[in-house]
Amino acid sequence: MYPMTGPRSLSFVSGTSEAPLLYRTVDGVLKAAAAEGPNRTALVVPFQSLRYTYAEFDREVDLVARGLLACGLRSGERIGIWAPNCAEWVLSLFAAARAGLVLVNINPAYRTTELEFVLRLVGCRALVFAPRFKTSDYVGMLQALIPELGNATPGSLDCAAFPELNLLIQLSAAPMQGSMSFDDVIALGRAADAAAGEIPEQLDADQIFNIQFTSGTTGTPKGATLTHFNIVNNGFFVGEGMRLKPEDSVCIPVPLYHCFGMVLGVLAAMTHGAASVFPSEGFEPLAVLETVARERCTVLHGVPTMFIAQLEHPRFGEFDLSSLRTGIMAGSPCPTAVMRRVVADMHMPEVTICYGMTETSPVSFQSCTDDPLELRVTTVGRVHPHVQVKIIDADGNVTPRGAAGELLTRGYSVMRGYWNEPERTRDAIDAGGWMHTGDLALIDEQGYCNIVGRVKDMIIRGGENVYPREVEEFLYRHPAVLDVTVVGVPDPKYGEAVCACIQLRSGMSASEEDIREFCRSQIAHYKVPRYVRFMQSFPLTVSGKVQKFLIREQLRAELNLNEEEHA
């Protein structure tokens, strides 16, 4: 995909490209796309019956931005968005950029404790929120956190718990007491438009624009602070990696609050003048299949579990997916069998694999559209343009090519830091500007990177390193295995033991001993799972990643294993 520089014998590579980095704000991306193709489709949201050309979308964004400014918001202030995928989410994204605000992405799965922490940490001045999503009653949670709402005037909230929070904007025609509707904001923007001139264009791409929260699986969530320069360039080069063109239509079933939806989806599309299509509020496999077929989408994103759900859907064969060409599979390793079916049955011969983290905007590695299938399932591709990476051992030394260690990354994509948390920032980004990912990886002589696990997820059994990804990939070969995740659990003799958690294919069966026997003589004895557990589903984040820490906690209780006793 891109040339690389760096010593061939060491695990250090630097991505180069003929395309330079863009010095452009998020608003600048929209303005350029609207100027170059005003009549091209920009956004399609079938479940809301909405469709915008770039000219129409630019105009609507302008009204929302003017409305936010009319509400008293000022450049640099934070505006949170707590909602599932919808047109208003994308409008808020670009309106915040146009108004010079900092957008704070709030996970739709957050409940009161997490919301309270986030609002206080970043000092949100405004919050855009949905009434509810799935089992989350956002209105009820806000009323519980802010008792003053019952007597508040919309736009003039005076709240003891959140002294900086002044404005609540509800995505509803009839907002709760103390808040205004999104339509009210647009109406204010329309009134302001009649009396005001152009909104001054934000030209400083180095300004902070976005705060995205990590999952918080080890302590409270951390707010990765990203600039326009970070995310615009990452979206652009991800789009380059898929060879996007203005004629493309990108189906985005992954959540917008996450970098996957916002950067790899919307910004990758818009930096290339392509369309963004949202099939549903949250992931629904049938809605994705229907939308791809009806809208003739050429690009489809998802994590492996999403692709599996679509392929296994009983109505899968009804839909014409022949318009598809490429897309991104990311978030967790892709089983070989799943990738083969995506390429063949979903007509995605140019599907790419991406790897990254929120703190790096997010992508550091991406496979090429023409990489052999084997490389797209065994690696995450090669380093992205203008990004440097290296692999280090426990002593901090760069490893030889092919040797595993912790992956570090440096370059334009690395975040400014964690919002208002300098100590946690110093723990993540060292004095040399290297972001420590916490992932175990190796880079081969051709520059392809293989993620073998998390530093904390690596299983050390009797002094032998076991990489869960390797065992998972092997178990996918079993005909009865639909999905699998491998974790380490405490063991009195070896320190840790391997446990395979398996979802079986519908109508198929296997015993614990069947699985162990399948492994024996084919993989090293210390990698053979001591424990096998069959599960109906795995606990997932909203973005579709398996929450291994929850599985480990469940297994420790189920197997009556205590880590301290076995230390």
The mean pLDDT value for 90-108 works out to 97
Decide: residue 376, CB within 10 A, 0-12 exposed, 13-18 middle, 19+ buried.
buried
CATH of the domain at 376: 3.40.50.12780
pLDDT above 70 covers a percentage of the chain that reads 97
Higher model confidence: residue 412 or residue 5? 412
Q: How far is Cα 186 from Cα 66, in angstroms, rounded to an integer? A: 8
Q: What strand order describes the sheet that includes 531-534?
A: 481-491, 495-504, 531-534
Domain C-terminal end among 183, 204, 225: 204
Query: What pLDDT does 447 receive?
Result: 95
Asked whether the beta carbons of 55 and 101 are under 8 A apart, the reply is no
Q: Is the pLDDT of residue 41 over 50?
A: yes
Lowest-confidence segment of 55-59, 266-270, 466-470 by average pLDDT: 466-470
Query: What pLDDT does 202 receive?
Result: 85
Radius of gyration of the chain from Cα atoms?
Answer: 24
Residue 401's beta-bridge partner residues? none
- Angle among Cα 464, 466, 470 to the nearest 5 degrees reads 145
Same domain, yes or no: 99 and 235: no
Query: What pLDDT does 454 receive?
Result: 73
CATH of the domain at 136: 3.40.50.980
Considering the domain boundaries, does residue 271 fall inside one? yes
The secondary structure element, H or E, covering residue 450 is strand 449-454
Considering the domain boundaries, does residue 401 fall inside one? yes
Contacts 24+ apart (CB under 8 A), 162-168: 162/119, 162/120, 162/124, 164/123, 164/124, 164/125, 165/119, 165/124, 165/125, 165/126, 165/127, 166/72, 166/125, 166/126, 167/71, 167/72, 167/73, 167/125, 167/126, 167/127, 168/126, 168/127, 168/129, 168/142
Asked whether the beta carbons of 429 and 417 are under 8 A apart, the reply is yes
Asked whether the beta carbons of 345 and 322 are under 8 A apart, the reply is no
- Amino acid symbol at 261: G
Domain C-terminal end among 428, 454, 480: 454
Same domain, yes or no: 432 and 409: yes
The mean pLDDT value for 67-75 works out to 96
Q: Report residue 543's pLDDT band, with 50, 70 and 90 as the boundaries.
A: low
Residue 53's beta-bridge partner residues? 41
The mean pLDDT value for 41-69 works out to 98
pLDDT above 90 covers a percentage of the chain that reads 78
* 138-145 helix and 112-122 helix, angle to the nearest 10 degrees: 60
Considering the domain boundaries, does residue 376 fall inside one? yes
Residue 518's beta-bridge partner residues? none
pLDDT tens by residue, 362-408: 999 999 999 999 999 889 999 999 999 999 998 999 999 999 999 99
Query: What pLDDT does 215 receive?
Result: 63
Please count the other Cβ atoms lying within 10 Å of the Cβ belonging to residue 282. 15
Q: Which domain holds residue 50?
A: 26-204
Lowest-confidence segment of 380-394, 411-425, 480-494 by average pLDDT: 480-494
Query: What pLDDT does 111 receive?
Result: 87
* Residue appearing with tokens 């795995």: 538
Domain C-terminal end among 153, 178, 204: 204
Considering the domain boundaries, does residue 348 fall inside one? yes
Q: Is the pLDDT of residue 281 over 60?
A: yes
Q: How far is Cα 349 from Cα 519, in angstroms, rounded to an integer? A: 31
Same domain, yes or no: 99 and 221: no
Considering the domain boundaries, does residue 564 fall inside one? no
Query: What pLDDT does 4 receive?
Result: 74
Same domain, yes or no: 247 and 293: yes
The secondary structure element, H or E, covering residue 352 is strand 350-356
Three-state SS sequence of 497-559: EEEEEEEECCCCCCCHHHHHHHHCCCCCHHHCCCEEEECCCCCECCCCCECHHHHHHHHHHHC
Same domain, yes or no: 180 and 229: no
Asked whether the beta carbons of 260 and 331 are under 8 A apart, the reply is yes
Same domain, yes or no: 173 and 145: yes
Q: Please choose, from the candidates 227, 224, 225, the residue with its C-alpha nearest in 3D space to the C-alpha of residue 412.
A: 227
Considering the domain boundaries, does residue 487 fall inside one? yes
Asked whether the beta carbons of 510 and 504 are under 8 A apart, the reply is yes
Q: How far is Cα 133 from Cα 108, in angstroms, rounded to an integer? A: 7
Q: How far is Cα 427 from Cα 359, in angstroms, rounded to an integer? A: 13
Query: What pLDDT does 565 receive?
Result: 39
Lowest-confidence segment of 46-55, 221-230, 334-343, 511-520 by average pLDDT: 334-343
Q: Is the pLDDT of residue 566 over 60?
A: no
pLDDT tens by residue, 291-324: 999 999 999 999 888 999 999 999 999 999 999 9
Higher model confidence: residue 2 or residue 229? 229
Burial 475-498 (b: 16+ CB within 10 A, else e): bbebebbbbbbbbbbbbeebbbbb
State how many domains the chain has: 3
Q: How far is Cα 359 from Cα 227, in angstroms, rounded to an integer? A: 11
Average pLDDT for the chain: 92
Q: How far is Cα 88 from Cα 94, in angstroms, rounded to an integer? A: 10
Same domain, yes or no: 514 and 438: no
Considering the domain boundaries, does residue 364 fall inside one? yes
Q: How far is Cα 202 from Cα 415, in angstroms, rounded to an integer? A: 20
Q: Report residue 564's pLDDT band, with 50, 70 and 90 as the boundaries.
A: very low
Q: Is the pLDDT of residue 8 over 80?
A: no
Q: Which two tokens stand for residue 394?
A: 């426990």
Q: Which two tokens stand for residue 347?
A: 């007509």
Same domain, yes or no: 225 and 310: yes
CA distances (Å), origin 362, targets 199, 281, 419, 543: 30, 22, 17, 14
Query: What pLDDT does 320 receive?
Result: 98
Same domain, yes or no: 39 and 164: yes
The mean pLDDT value for 33-43 works out to 98
The mean pLDDT value for 411-439 works out to 96
Same domain, yes or no: 144 and 44: yes
CATH of the domain at 514: 3.30.300.30
Same domain, yes or no: 242 and 336: yes
Q: How far is Cα 483 from Cα 535, in angstroms, rounded to an integer? A: 10
Query: What pLDDT does 27 receive?
Result: 98
Q: How far is Cα 231 from Cα 265, in angstroms, rounded to an integer? A: 11
The mean pLDDT value for 491-501 works out to 87
Query: What pLDDT does 264 receive?
Result: 98
Please count the other Cβ atoms lying within 10 Å of the Cβ belonging to residue 113. 11
Q: Report residue 2's pLDDT band, with 50, 70 and 90 as the boundaries.
A: low
Same domain, yes or no: 13 and 96: no
Work out the widest C-alpha separation in the chain, in whole angstroms.
78
Q: Where are the beta strands (DSSP E) in 244-297?
A: 249-251, 275-277
Considering the domain boundaries, does residue 459 fall inside one? no
Q: How far is Cα 14 from Cα 230, in angstroms, rounded to an integer? A: 17
pLDDT tens by residue, 111-156: 898 899 999 999 999 999 999 999 899 999 999 999 999 999 999 9
pLDDT tens by residue, 429-469: 999 999 999 888 999 999 999 988 777 777 878 777 787 88
Q: How far is Cα 548 from Cα 457, in angstroms, rounded to an integer? A: 8
- Amino acid symbol at 541: T
The mean pLDDT value for 158-167 works out to 95
Asked whether the beta carbons of 437 and 406 are under 8 A apart, the reply is yes
